[in-house]
Chain A
Amino acid sequence: MSDSPALLKPAELDPANAITRQICEQMDRCLLGRESLHRLVLTGLLSRGHILLEGLPGLGKTALVRTIGHILQLDFNRVQFTPDLMPGDVLGSHILQQTDDGQREMIFEPGPVFTHILLADEINRASPKTQSAMLETMQERSVTLRGQTRELPQPFFVIASQNPIEMEGTYPLPEAQLDRFLFRVIFDSVDAEVLQRIITERRQGDLPAPNWQASTDDLTYLFAVMERIYLPKPVAGYIARLVAATHPDHPEAPESVKQYVQYGTSPRAAIAMGEAARANALLDGRPTVGFEDVAAVAKPVMNHRLILNYQARFDRMDTDRVLTELIEELDETGLDLPADVSLQNA
């Protein structure tokens, strides 16, 4: 055990956990009634993943991104995606410019992607050509134009939003691009009590300014701690079995997967789930990842990566129900105890 990697000590983890709590508190203070969602978005950011927000207009998607930018003191750009938006409008373009000595040269004018947090609003309204331009930025975190690759500022996150009800004039995101999003987070309506608070406390929708902001050092420290959150082998094994069981031909796949899933999730989903589970453990103030961390992030990680068949459409089955059944049926420990045998605390 002396050769084994050192686990984070409480003294190392506690400051990081305090920072995350502060961030969550500030977000909860600015945006009312979205506690679990804030936690999930912070989990995604700590995992250095991109997030796809799906919800109706007016639910606070843009406000959420702007608030995070303010709290983390990160640059924030917003691009409204439209059908005539060109890749150059997002990535940047070269323009011919006269220099001081009278010469002319091509100068690169960076696009809005050169920022820390990019809000791609209604990303499914852009043409596939522009959507494809986002692929390199999301995966490689760089932009290559005219043979020259330019690194994007670190950290770099894409938080995209899409409207699920206005399908006319939209271009659904291809599976390759969907796979690059760590989470797909569903924005639900808030309940009446929260709405009442919003009406009374948010005149004209103005957001209150955060009274605490994380510094760049805080963020760096958080990412450093994230690197040392330990993933035990049984948990890694559970993640692997969970991802493998999304494939209909896998022996551990439950009946709903066999019946309704056409294509299961990719290895990228397993990597994303491991990272997101680490972030969840950090938010809980634990140095190790447990099964509950995996359960907390499994659905947002996999719900946009699972491709259902036509039978699911006929039976009105969605990915959420399929994943719920998968998580319920797959035993985390691999013991596969019979139905009439269970483990209970003495």
Chain B
Amino acid sequence: MMIYRSVLRWSGIWLMIAGVLVLGIRFTSDLPVDWWKYLLGSWLALIAVAWYRERKRRPDPEQLRAAFDRQNHAGGLVMAAAEVDTRSWEARAGTLELPSVQWHSGRAWLGTVLAAAFYITALWVPVKYARLIADPPMEISQQVEELHEQIDVLESEYILSPQQAETKREELDRIAEQASGFNPSKTWEALDQLLHTNEQLAQQEAEDALSKLSALNEAALLGKALEMLPKGLENQQALEEGLKQMGQLMNQLHQQGALDPNNLPPELQKAMQQALKQLAQGGGPDGEQLKQMLDALKNNQDQLLELAKDLAQKGLIPPDLADQFKPEDFGGLDPGPLAEMLKQHGGDFQELLEQLGPELGGRGNINRGPGHAPLLYGNESSEEGAEFEEQKLGLSVPLEQAKLAGVTITAPEVTGGEAILGQGALNTAQAGGGNALTAPVLPRHRTAVKRFFTRPGTPPQSIPK
């Protein structure tokens, strides 16, 4: 019976554990094909262990005899029968009954039935519900779509190469696939990281574009000023110099990559190539070429503005950076005064820009502006009118009435009527144990103390060790 009892109880526990295992396996993967073999095998092993354990725990005959004695209220006679002769008392002992073992198996059966029900439930519960519990979904489709659009923009604007863009897309898809409601912070961090790298790339590109736009504006300003000069100009030399500088500027822009011939229509590309070839040989552009150059500059400016607009729309650059891209010609500058100066004086374009700064209009630039004053350092400020002035204070009490603050290990420095009281004396004190409250010098000792401090040429006392 005890073996049967152990088997039943252990089976209940085993069913619970097996149910949990089955549930876990079904949630994570599929059950093996021959799962029932493992089940049966482990249950048989369990029965074997229960049988062995109960066999080991079998009570010895002495214990059984004691239980027999107790159940029959034999007063030790049954137990004593194993050790002494009790035949003389058999008649009084009467009929002894063999007790039976009663097992109240209700709870064990209930537990086993419940465990079996759990096991069957674990075996048949639909996995889709289980997976919902196991891995709750995380809604990030909108964020993923936005990031995809950002990558598309970066790729279309040649900020990312096709390979880099593909790598980023794969990474984004992987994040979306692994997104889990159990650990949302991990997903959010990964998305943030991707967004951050996109923004960094876009901002760097926008800053480059802004610099190029500024250079293009300057070139366009000069070109427009040259175009505004009237035909048959008296100062023909100024015009030639201006055109030459215009050619140099265009060359610089080309070399810096700000003037990209690929951004131009085919006929303009062809004209630009001829103009650039001519410029490379040292000659300035003629009127027709100047017009084509202005068209080319305008075209490139538009391209850069379009780039900034796209990046700003996808949230890749901050609004303040996007605002710096103005769709105005020449960066909001007026070419009229420059043309007038060229007409009158000719000269270096950059110098003229600096001189005409305020007249050109605009919102300022990198020069120091008109009327700037030199910054000078080194002049000391005057103390005149200062409210406080440092001054050395005299003694508040005469030396005769002073209290002992400490005993120095060296002769005190004579300051000629002035004395420095306070921490200097205490720092070198050799007595008093660091206590600031030292006993005052009594009147009868005051003369001796004073004499000690006024002895001329007294060698410093050494600290006894």
Contacts and interface: CB of A to CB of B under 8 A. Distances in A.
B141 interface: no
Interface stretch (B23-31, B64-72, B244-252): B64-72
Contact of A340 (B72, B77, B103): B103
A325 to B, nearest CB: 19
A232 B101 contact: no
B241 to A, nearest CB: 109
Interface in A222-243: 230-235, 238
B462 interface: no
Interface residues of A, number: 37
Interface string A5-48: 11101100000000000000000000000000000000000000
A157 B64 CA distance: 40
B327 interface: no
Nearest to B77: A288
| B74, B88, B97, most chain A CB atoms within 10 A | B88
A10 B69 CA distance: 19
Contact of B70 (A2, A4, A332): A332
B66 A234 contact: yes
Contacts of A332: 66, 70
B102 A232 contact: no
B280 interface: no
A329 interface: no
B187 to A, nearest CB: 51
A284 B92 CA distance: 13
Contacts of A346: 97-100
Interface string A113-135: 00000000000000000000000
B76 A293 contact: yes
B62 A234 contact: yes
Contacts of B59: 333-335
A286 B75 CA distance: 7
B5 interface: yes
Contacts of B84: 1, 4-7, 230
Contacts of B62: 233-234
A235 B102 CA distance: 24
Contact of B99 (A230, A238, A343): A343
Contacts of A160: none
A51 interface: no
Nearest to A280: B75
Nearest to A289: B76
Contacts of A345: 71-72, 97, 99-100
B65 to A, nearest CB: 7
B101 A288 contact: no
Contacts of A341: 1-2, 5, 101-104
A344 interface: yes
A180 B463 CA distance: 74
A234 B66 CA distance: 7
Interface in A243-301: 281, 284, 286-293
B101 to A, nearest CB: 6
B97 A343 contact: no
B75 A288 contact: yes
Contacts, number: 125
B238 to A, nearest CB: 111
Contact of A6 (B69, B79, B85, B107): B85
A293 B63 CA distance: 18
B47 interface: no
Given A341-B2, A343-B71, A334 B63 contact: yes
A340 B80 contact: no
B108 interface: yes
Contacts of A333: 59, 63, 66-67, 70
A28 B131 CA distance: 81
B102 A286 contact: no
Contacts of B63: 234, 333-335
Contact of B86 (A7, A231, A338): A7
| B59, B69, B82, B107, most chain A CB atoms within 10 A | B69
Contact of A10 (B71, B75, B92): B92
| B63, B72, B97, B104, most chain A CB atoms within 10 A | B63
Contacts of A335: 59, 63-64, 67
Nearest to A337: B101
Contacts of B53: none
A99 interface: no
A342 interface: yes
Nearest to A284: B75
A161 B420 CA distance: 88
A288 B85 contact: no
B107 A340 contact: yes
A230 B92 CA distance: 17
Contacts of A9: 88
Contacts of B74: 290
Interface in B80-132: 80, 82-86, 88-89, 92, 97-105, 107-108
20 contacts: A4-B83, A4-B84, A5-B84, A6-B85, A230-B80, A233-B79, A235-B76, A235-B79, A287-B89, A291-B76, A333-B59, A333-B70, A340-B104, A340-B108, A341-B1, A342-B101, A343-B102, A344-B100, A344-B102, A345-B97
Shortest 4 CB-CB distances between A and B: which pairs?
A288-B76, A232-B79, A290-B76, A290-B75
Interface of B: 1-2, 5, 59, 62-67, 69-77, 79-80, 82-86, 88-89, 92, 97-105, 107-108
